[in-house]
Chain A
Amino acid sequence: MSRYLLRRLLLVVPSVIGISIVLFTVLALAPGDPFEELATNPAIPPEVRANLRTQFGLDDPIHLRYLRWFGSMAQGDWGFSFASRIDVDKLILQRIPVTLFVIGSSQVLALLIALPVGVFAATRPYSIFDQIANTLAFIGFSLPTFFTGILLILLFSIHLDWLPFVYRADISATGWRWYWEHLRQAIMPVTVLGLFQAASWTRFVRSSVLDVIRLDYVTTARSKGLAEQVVVVKHVVRNALIPVVTLVALQLPAVFGGAIITEQIFRVPGIGSLLISAILANDTPVIMAVTFVLAILVILFNLLADLIYGWLDPRVSYR
């Protein structure tokens, strides 16, 4: 297992480098010059501008510029936010816990829905339950998160007035009341994201369980006289989850995309809404850093998925 872990960790390095190269290329290809204003300012002679360019290394060959950029990113020097007047890394550290909380709870919710529903539907294929679950799953992943969010706001905030639709980080209450308020405002964002994930996961789980449940070893387990519940939970589900983990890992970038939208709708102060406000404010250092952080998070979660994979299927860790 530790060798498998080490190999996986080593594979992270090229991914991070690859992603940083893609990001840097996009930035370098983009038109626009940080000293553009100076060019149109008649009070500043062109030589000064040229000197500034040389001083900040803008005329260096591209690979040198990339190495310098990557070096400072790696040292935690992520620049300074134009809009918020604060270091970018501090800004991101402030915002990241909320995002991880919302994403994490929505994934747990999705798992709690998809696993039982998918397994139950697959053990009774083409029953009424299966058909209803299938239809709901189709509707679920055809509903874009921004529309579900708006429908939930319409229903629960405006029509019924049960839940607040603006997420507040500064709740003044203390004790139990504080937890309750936080829970209340997290319900809608987590539900929107969780239901969307649950819809596609249910389909994955169902088809994967259907593939496994007809295998001979399941028949063997049944003919040994094991209870159906034991057969399903201990024999079928564990094996069926192996391909599901891969599919879930592939979906992670979409999860982060969904998180950005939900944060924007409910004004959750996470890094997703930070990204949008930075784009609207032309705050380039923040935009670059948030994109990079989101990419790194995807890689980290992929690593986690690989570890779960290794635990579910010990064969892969010995290969």
Chain B
Amino acid sequence: MAGSTRVSATASSTVAAHALQPGNGTSLTREAWRRFRRHRLALAGAAILALLTLGVLVGPFLWKLPINEIDFAVKLKGPSFAHPLGTDDLGQDLLARMMYGGRISLAVGLAAMLIAVIVGTLIGAVAGISRGSVDAALMWLTNLFLALPQLPMLLLIIFLFRDPLKAMFGPEVGIFILIVAVIGGFSWMPVARLVRAQFLSLREKEFVEAARALGASTPRTVVRHILPNALGPVIVAGTIDVAAAIIAESTLSFLGLGFPPDIPTWGRILFDAKDHLDIAPHWAVIPGAAIFLAVLSINYLGDGLRDALDPRKVM
């Protein structure tokens, strides 16, 4: 008995290694990197995204003006030496506010993406591996969520749950948790469908059959054999989800229903700026351009990752 277990374990891990990395250890990663590198715009996107991230992470340590210092003497001024990105209607420094807001926007994007990917992978995997009624029920749920209008639902839930969460965790953390949970909770469906489709095709493949024949249990087959092979498209979808979550958060803030006014996310700055378009266009254009740049570079990054990780799509 012990012998047979050992044999199946080694055998299946060899199969797994085979499925994951044909030939020597790093060639699959290297191959993916080679394909990614060919996509110039994806490289540029990655570079811009890295710069933006570095800027919002390190920037506040170098640019020490507070985000909420009110100075009416310089209100609504365009870019100058003292305020490189100009000031808003209270004379607050926009560069400091942009860096602070960038941290929140990027953090919301990442956290919401993680929730969407985890929930989506879980539901897609369970649906894909189990046949019959479980699959049907989960797919019905997925399609139902796909048919729900996302933005109105976000607005409704934030309207209903805003105050209790604020009371529980404080205004900043409470709203952050709420926004991340709600955005993530309404964007897992594409991942779930993707993972299910991958599972449906992968579970009929020979290497999975081999693993099963060698006595691997269903959880082991799923975690060690099917999931690693299904991850490529999930990573791509996750990247796109970050962009979608950043847009969703900015939209909520832009409608005045996201973070409270004293927390300047990019969308919030744009919301405050839209009534002063005629006298201070820079105030609206800067956060808008930042959102656009972040989203565009993430989308290009996702496009490059699709070329790199989804070999079937490469021509």
List A residues at the B interface (Cβ < 8 Å). 14-15, 18-19, 22-23, 26-27, 30-32, 138-139, 141-144, 146-147, 150-151, 153-154, 158, 250, 253-254, 256-257, 260-261, 264-265, 275-276, 279-280, 282, 287-288, 290-291, 294-295, 297-299, 302
Assess the B159–A287 pair: CB atoms within 8 A: yes
Could you tell me the distance between the alpha carbons of A299 and B256 in the complex, rounded to whole angstroms? 28
Question: Which of these, B147, B292, B303, contacts A19 with CB under 8 Å?
Answer: B147
Q: How far is the CB of B65 from chain A (nearest CB, A)?
A: 25
Contacts of A256 in B (CB 8 A): 149, 151-152
> 8 tightest A-B contacts by CB?
A257-B151, A30-B160, A147-B288, A142-B296, A253-B149, A142-B295, A291-B152, A18-B144
Task: Given contacts A288-B156, A295-B149, list 9 more A-B pairs with CB under 8 A.
Answer: A18-B140, A30-B160, A31-B164, A142-B296, A144-B247, A253-B151, A264-B255, A287-B155, A287-B159
Q: How far is the CB of B111 from chain A (nearest CB, A)?
A: 19
B149–A261 CB distance below 8 A: no
Contact B299 A142 (CB under 8 A): yes
Bound complex: CA A118 to CA B194 (Å): 25
Give chain B interface residues in 280-312, CB to chain A under 8 Å: 281, 284-285, 288-289, 291-292, 295-296, 299-300, 303
B148 CB contact (under 8 Å) in A19, A260, A279, A280: A19
User: Which residue of the partner chain, among B140, B151, B277, B300, contacts A154 with CB atoms under 8 Å?
Assistant: B277
| A30 and B161 contact, Cβ closer than 8 Å, known pairs A141-B299, A147-B288 | yes
User: Which residues of B have CB within 8 Å of A138?
Assistant: 296, 299-300, 303
A146 touches B250 (CB 8 A): yes
Q: Is the CB of A253 within 8 A of B277?
A: no
Provide the bound-state CA to CA distance between A291 and B158, in Å.
Answer: 13
In the bound assembly, the distance between CA atoms of A174 and B132 in angstroms comes to: 62
Determine if A146 and B153 form an interchain contact, defined as CB atoms under 8 angstroms apart: no
Q: Is B200 at the interface (CB under 8 A from chain A)? A: no
- Chain A residue at minimal CB-CB distance from B296: A142
Instruction: Tell me the complex Cα distance, A276–B257, Å.
Output: 9
Q: Is B125 an interface residue (CB 8 A)?
A: no
Which residue, of B155, B250, B270, has the highest number of chain A Cβ atoms within 10 A? B155
B229 at the interface (CB under 8 A from A): no
Cβ–Cβ < 8 Å partners of A27 in chain B: 160
A-B pairs with beta carbons under 8 Å apart, 7 shown: A138-B300, A142-B296, A146-B250, A146-B251, A154-B285, A256-B149, A261-B255
Q: Which of A26, A144, A299 contacts B156 (CB 8 A)?
A: A26
- Measured in the bound complex, the distance between the Cα atoms of B250 and A147 in whole Å is 10
Is B281 in contact with A290, judged by CB distance below 8 angstroms? no
B278 at the interface (CB under 8 A from A): yes
Least Cβ distance of A98 to chain B in Å?
A: 17
Query: In angstroms, how far is the closest chain B Cβ from the Cβ of A18?
Result: 5
Beta-carbon contacts of B157-178 to A below 8 Å, as 1s and 0s? 1011101100000000000000
Residues of B whose CB lies within 8 Å of any CB of A are 140, 143-144, 146-153, 155-157, 159-161, 163-164, 243, 247, 250-251, 254-257, 267, 270, 274, 277-278, 281, 284-285, 288-289, 291-292, 295-296, 299-300, 303
Q: How far is the CA of A265 from the CA of B255 in the complex (A)?
A: 9
Chain A residues contacting B156 (CB-CB under 8 Å) are 23, 26, 279, 287-288, 291
Q: Which residues of B lie under 8 Å from residue A294 when comparing CB positions? A: 149, 152
Q: Please, which residues of chain B bring their CB within 8 A of the CB of A153?
A: 277
Residues of A within 8 A of B303 (CB): 138
Interface of B, helix, strand, loop or mixed by DSSP: helix
Partner of B243, one of A139, A142, A146, A158: A142
Which residues of the partner chain B approach A299 to less than 8 Å between Cβ atoms?
147
Q: Which residues of A contact B299 (CB under 8 A)?
A: 138, 141-142
Provide the bound-state CA to CA distance between A142 and B291, in Å: 9
B144, B149, B243, B300: the one within 8 Å of A291 (CB): B149
Given known A-B contacts A138-B296, A141-B299, A256-B149, A146 and B254 have beta carbons under 8 A apart: yes
In the bound complex, residues from chain A placing their C-beta under 8 Å from that of B160 are: 26-27, 30-32
State the Cβ distance, A145 to closest chain B Cβ, in Å.
8
Contact B292 A142 (CB under 8 A): yes
Contact A275 B155 (CB under 8 A): yes
Complex: A154 Cα to B285 Cα, angstroms:
10
Report the minimal beta-carbon distance from B141 to chain A, rounded to whole angstroms. 8
Q: Which of B156, B163, B247, B270 has most A Cβ within 10 Å?
A: B156
Q: Select A144's contact among B147, B148, B159, B291, beta carbons within 8 Å.
A: B291
A154 to B284, CA, bound (A): 10
Asked if residues B254 and A295 are in contact (CB atoms below 8 Å), the reply is no
- CB-CB under 8 A from A30, the residues of chain B are 160-161
Contacts of A32 in B (CB 8 A): 160, 163
User: Given A146-B270, A147-B288, A257 and B150 touching (CB < 8 A)?
Assistant: yes
Asked whether, in the complex, the Cβ of A279 is within 8 Å of the Cβ of B257, the reply is yes
C-alpha spacing A192/B224, complex, angstroms: 47
The answer to whether B250 and A144 have CB atoms under 8 Å apart is: yes
A32 to B152, CA, bound (A): 20
On chain A, the residues within 8 Å of B149 by CB distance are 253, 256-257, 291, 294-295, 297-298
Across the two chains, which residue of chain B brings its CB closest to A147? Answer: B288
Residues of chain A lying within 8 A (CB to CB) of residue B277: 150, 153-154, 158
Contacts of B146 in A (CB 8 A): 250, 253
Q: For residue B148, which residues in chain A have a CB less than 8 angstroms away from its CB?
A: 19, 22, 253, 295, 298
In Å, the complex CA distance between A299 and B144 comes to 10
A31 CA to B167 CA in the complex, in Å? 12
- Assess the A22–B144 pair: CB atoms within 8 A: yes
Q: Which one of A18, A31, A146, A294 has the highest number of Cβ atoms from chain B below 10 Å of its Cβ?
A: A146
